[in-house]
Structure formats: C-alpha cells, structure tokens
Amino acid sequence: MRKLFVLPLLIAVMALLVVGCAAPAPTVPPTQPPAPTTAKPAATQPPAPAATQPPAPTATQPPAPTATKPAPPTPTIPPTVVTSTEGCAPGSTKIVWYIGLGTGSQPDQIPVEKAWAEKFNKSQTEACVVLTVVYNTGTNSYDALKAMIAAGNAPDIVGPVGKMGRASFQGAWADIAPLAKEAGFDLTKYDPALLEFTKDEGVLVGIPFALFPSMIYYNKALFDEAKLPYPPQKVGEKYQGKDWNLETFTELARKLTVDKNGNDATNPKFDPKNIKQFGFFEQWTDARGIAVFFGGGLPYDPKDPKTAVIPEHWKQSWKWYYGGIWKHYFMPNADYQNSDLLAKGNPGSSGNVAMWWCHTWYTCCFDLSKTKWDIAVLPTINGKVTAKLHGDTFAIMKASKNQKVAFKVLAKMVTDTGLMEFYGGMPADPKDRPAFFAALDKKVAPNKINWSVAEEMLKYPDLPNHEAWLPNMIKANDLFTAFRNKMDQTPNLNMDEEIEKLRKDLDAVFKAAP
C-alpha cells in the first residue's frame, strides 16, 4: 500500500519541481518583443494594434522598443502616470498628451517627457501640457485610449505613434494641413514623399518626425567563425565576386546555418531537427513586412480597393520565406524562434543568428556594445533593392476641443531636436543626422557601425509602404499576422493554396469595409 502511494507521489513532486525550476518563456512569445528594461529608446514602432500585433507565437511583432537591453517580459505593468497642471500659466489651455501607442511609456522615459512638458509650460502662457502615460503592452494602452474617447475625455495629442497605431483608431485623427496653414507652419520644407508617408487615407495626420529605415544587421563573430567575408555595405558592391542578389544572399544564409554536428545547411548531412545557429531571420514584422523584401506593393487593386489582389513579387517573397524555414532551414520556425536558443522570441539578440533584417529601432533590443556587429545593405532582388521604412509622429485627435493650441504644442514637439534624439528616430532632415549618429556611436562603442548604410537604405523605401492604409485595416492586418504565424508554425503547406486563401479572406474583409 505504501509503495502504491509513494511512486506516483514522487513522480508528481518531481514534475512540480522541474516545472517550477524551468526557465520561463516569454509571455508574449514570439511576436512580442522583450519588454525593455532601460530606456533611451531607439525605436518607435509600436507594438501594434491589438488584433494585428498580439503576443503571438511567432516573432513577427515589432517591439515595444526603447531599451538598450532586452529583458524577459514582466507580468508587472507599471501604473499609469498622469501629471498635473502645476506650474502652468493661469488661464492657459490644458492640452493632454497621451503616450502609449508607441515608444515613450517605459518608466525611465517618463521623467524626460515630464521635464519636457514642464519646460514647455514655463516657456509660454497659451498651453498647459499634461501627460497621460499608459504602459504599452500592445493592448492595454489601446484599451485605455478607447475608454478615454468613449467617456468623452479624448486626449489632444497622441504620440509617438506609427501607422499601425493610428490604424487602430481609424478616422479619429484630425487633419493637420489646415491647422498648419492657420498657424503659418511651413510644410514645404519637408520632403513630399515623407509628407505622403505621414498621410492616412489621404489625410495628413502628422508632421514627419522620426524615421526608421531597415537594413541587414549581422553578427561579425559568426562570420569570423565561418571564415566568410562580411556582407556589402554599399548598394552595387559584390560579395565574393558575385552580385549581392537573392541567390548569393540565400547561399550565404545557408552557409551560416549550422547544426549540432557542425554541418552547415548546404551539407547533405545537415540535421534540421538540431539546428544551433541560423543564417537569417526577418525580425518582428508581419506578412506584409516579409512581402516587401521583394518590393513594395499593395494587396488590392488601386482602382478598386475593395478587391484583393496579391502582387506576384509578394507571392515570390512569401514562398522564398517559407522555403527558407521549412526547406532550406536557414530561417527559424516558430518553435526555434521561441526557444532558449534564440532568446525566446528575440532571435537577433541571441548571438545565434548571423544576419537579421530589421529597422534602426532594433538598436533598442540587443546588447549594442558586447555583441560584435555591424549593418549591411539589403540584396538586390528582381533588379531592385527595397528597405522597408517606419516612421513615427505625433497626431491630434479629431475629438480634441483645442486643436489649434494642440497644433502649436505639436509643432514644438516635432521640431525639438532634443525630443527627437530622445525617441531615437533618425531625423527626417539630413543636417540633423550627424549629431544623431554621434549619439548612437557612444552607445555602440567599442563597435564602430557604418551608419551610412542606414542613410543609404533610406533611398530605397518600400513604396507603397508595408504599413500603408488598407480597407478595413485592423482586420486585414489581423489576417496578415495570422498568415505569417501560419508560415512560421506549419510545415508542408501548399503555399499557392495558402496565398489564394489569404486573398479570398482579404477580399471579404475589404468588401466589408465601411
């Protein structure tokens, strides 16, 4: 009788102990980037709207960027911060600045933002800026803003916020153009392409503020170990005498993928079930982000936006991506992405990925000084180079009762170089960039990064942008996110059928758009 009880008991106890001692996985496994611990953000791409950017099982999510060191996500969410009108000029108009849809809500960012508001409030008598900062987990700050709007307490200014964040509140943003005109703010000094980039559904909802071009990050140590030369840092440069194109890039990525026996992915003895190092990864983006590796595009007919049409080069890109995971094995599937090997959803930071494609904001999320790294240009695919682009700004809510005063505050925000540097975006104005990169150089030392690559990649943006407006955008993005996750998680897919299914689903969503 005693034995009857002791054996199962021991098994149960062992199970409990082992589970209790096991290393935790990220709550928000793959798509959600690690919640940063320190700030001086370099990123601003928000963990996007709920449906499109959930914590999900594949590393598709842009980070809640802004840290210099990644840390495991914490279940503890910092409390909401609301500042008072203390120090404001009597009779000044209260302007509520909401922070939480992008970067800016990290606890160590808030003092800087508070200081900026206090300084601004003392500098003039017309506006009194108060902050509402809701920690951005990708969902709760969105819910909080919705609750504020529903209760009739919409904030005046929201930001920094990117296209995806704004899309969660489609139609809720004021048109900046007439406000700028009335205030005498000169918009012509901005590149028209950047102004176009800051439009949602044809409405200018912000002023170009911070840019985040993308490029190839590479781990020098892994290249050195494989005795392979580093990838090109100028468009047009060759790699080992070959054009820097898709074939060369794929071959390189395979050579840099290694199994536990030391075989690379070009070796017939390569063991895909026990990979220890990957050649490449498309970090924290959705299916549209993957698609534009082969060139910008729109998933609908421009003449009839309610009809879904998948561009041919997008299909090629998805097939190449899928083959990279399940056929050639140089990219990690969802299980690998979330494993300890790849830092539980932050592969680029793990030291076990040789090259990864991401934006400048990714300087938030790995050890900039200890990792031996640099950046390289994207390969030429189908005769052209495409580097997807992100951009953040501040927007005024349509429900704001003080739009004119809010614009004056916003105008100060977007032209304040201190704020720009603080949020870590590359300045839209080239003359401000040397100072920006000089500040970054201090963070990355002893590494010496060739920032000209980032500037060069700005010349090859994805047009149309991968975050461009879509009919019924939130639901459409939801489908794109699910599509990427499916590619990451599921072997043996018939990609033609899957893409056709996606098209049909998109078509239904587009047609249901108001």
Partner 1 sequence: MFTRVISIPHQLQQVRTSALRRREAIWGFLFLTPWIIGFFGFQLLPILMTIFLSFTDYTGTKEFAPGNFNFVGLDNYARLFSDLYAVPAMGVTLKFALIGIPLGLVVPLYFAVLVNSRYLIASNFFRTLFFMPTVIPIVAGTIIFGGVLNAQSGWINLSLKAIGIEDPPRWFSDPFWAVPALNLLGVWSSGNAMLILLAALQGVPTELYEAATVDGANAITKFFNITVPMISPVIFYNVTLGVIGAFQYFVPAMLIGGLNGDPQRSLLFFPLHFYREAFSFSEMGYASVLALLIFVVTMIATGFLFFFVQRLVYYAGAD
Judged by CB under 8 A, does residue 497 bind partner 1? no
Smallest gap from Cβ 361 to partner 1, in A, equals: 21
Q: Between residues 32 and 45, which has the closer beta carbon with respect to partner 1?
A: 32
Measured CA to CA in angstroms, residue 295 lies from 31, 313, 387, 461 at distances of 23, 7, 8, 9
Contact assessment for residue 154 and residue 95, using Cβ atoms and an 8 Å cutoff? no
Query: Among 69, 94, 146, 306, which residue sits at the site for partner 1 (rule: CB under 8 A)?
Result: 146
Q: Could you please report the per-residue DSSP string of 291-315? A: HGGG----SEETTEEEEE---HHHH
Judged by CB under 8 A, does residue 299 bind partner 1? no
Query: Among 490, 495, 501, 513, which residue sits at the site for partner 1 (rule: CB under 8 A)?
Result: 490
Spell out, one character per residue from 2 to 21, where the chain touches partner 1: x when CB under 8 A holds, - when not.
x--xx-xx--xx--x-xxx-
Q: Between residues 204 and 482, which has the closer beta carbon with respect to partner 1?
A: 482
For residue 160, the one-letter residue type is P
Q: Read off the tokens for 47.
A: 């963990």
Strands 373-376 and 210-219: what pairing?
antiparallel
Judged by CB under 8 A, does residue 232 bind partner 1? no
Number of separate helices (H) and strands (E) present in the chain: 17, 17
Judged by CB under 8 A, does residue 132 bind partner 1? no
Show contacts with partner 1 in window 326-385 (CB under 8 A). 333-336, 338-341, 344
Smallest gap from Cβ 267 to partner 1, in A, equals: 21
Smallest gap from Cβ 29 to partner 1, in A, equals: 6
Query: Among 149, 177, 187, 246, which residue sits at the site for partner 1 (rule: CB under 8 A)?
Result: 149
Smallest gap from Cβ 75 to partner 1, in A, equals: 4
Show contacts with partner 1 in window 386-445 (CB under 8 A). 399
Preceding peptide of 160 cis, ω within 30°: yes
Judged by CB under 8 A, does residue 203 bind partner 1? no
By CB atoms closer than 10 A (0-12, 13-18, 19+), residue 513 is: middle
Calpha distance 389→243 (Å, rounded):
24
Smallest gap from Cβ 2 to partner 1, in A, equals: 5
Residue burial 7-39, b: 16+ Cβ < 10 Å; e: rest: eeeeeeeeeeeeeeeeeeebebbbbbbbbbbbb
Judged by CB under 8 A, does residue 170 bind partner 1? yes
Calpha distance 114→101 (Å, rounded):
17
Point out which span in 62-70, 164-172, 233-241, 436-444 binds partner 1 (CB under 8 A).
164-172
DSSP category for residue 143: H
Calpha distance 370→221 (Å, rounded):
11
Smallest gap from Cβ 499 to partner 1, in A, equals: 16
Judged by CB under 8 A, does residue 151 bind partner 1? yes
Who contacts 460 (Cβ-Cβ below 8 Å, separation ≥6)?
235, 378, 384, 385, 386, 387
Point out which span in 29-37, 197-205, 228-236, 264-272 binds partner 1 (CB under 8 A).
29-37
Smallest gap from Cβ 472 to partner 1, in A, equals: 9
Show contacts with partner 1 in window 171-190 (CB under 8 A). 171-172
Judged by CB under 8 A, does residue 37 bind partner 1? no
Query: Among 481, 487, 503, 506, which residue sits at the site for partner 1 (rule: CB under 8 A)?
Result: 481
Q: Read off the tokens for 494.
A: 């018939």
Contact assessment for residue 276 and residue 254, using Cβ atoms and an 8 Å cutoff? no
Calpha distance 331→293 (Å, rounded):
14
Judged by CB under 8 A, does residue 22 bind partner 1? yes
Query: Among 36, 47, 55, 461, which residue sits at the site for partner 1 (rule: CB under 8 A)?
Result: 55
Q: Between residues 68 and 333, which has the closer beta carbon with respect to partner 1?
A: 333
Beta bridge partners of 281: 356
Judged by CB under 8 A, does residue 446 bind partner 1? no
Judged by CB under 8 A, does residue 268 bind partner 1? no
Preceding peptide of 471 cis, ω within 30°: no
Q: Read off the tokens for 49.
A: 């709207």
Query: Among 86, 150, 189, 446, which residue sits at the site for partner 1 (rule: CB under 8 A)?
Result: 150
Judged by CB under 8 A, does residue 308 bind partner 1? no
Judged by CB under 8 A, does residue 447 bind partner 1? no
Measured CA to CA in angstroms, residue 207 lies from 6, 39, 170, 418 at distances of 70, 24, 17, 16
Which residues bind to partner 1, rule: CB under 8 A? 1-2, 5-6, 8-9, 12-13, 16, 18-20, 22-29, 31-32, 49-52, 54-58, 72-73, 75, 139, 142-143, 146, 149-152, 154, 168-172, 273, 333-336, 338-341, 344, 399, 474-475, 478, 481-482, 485-486, 489-490
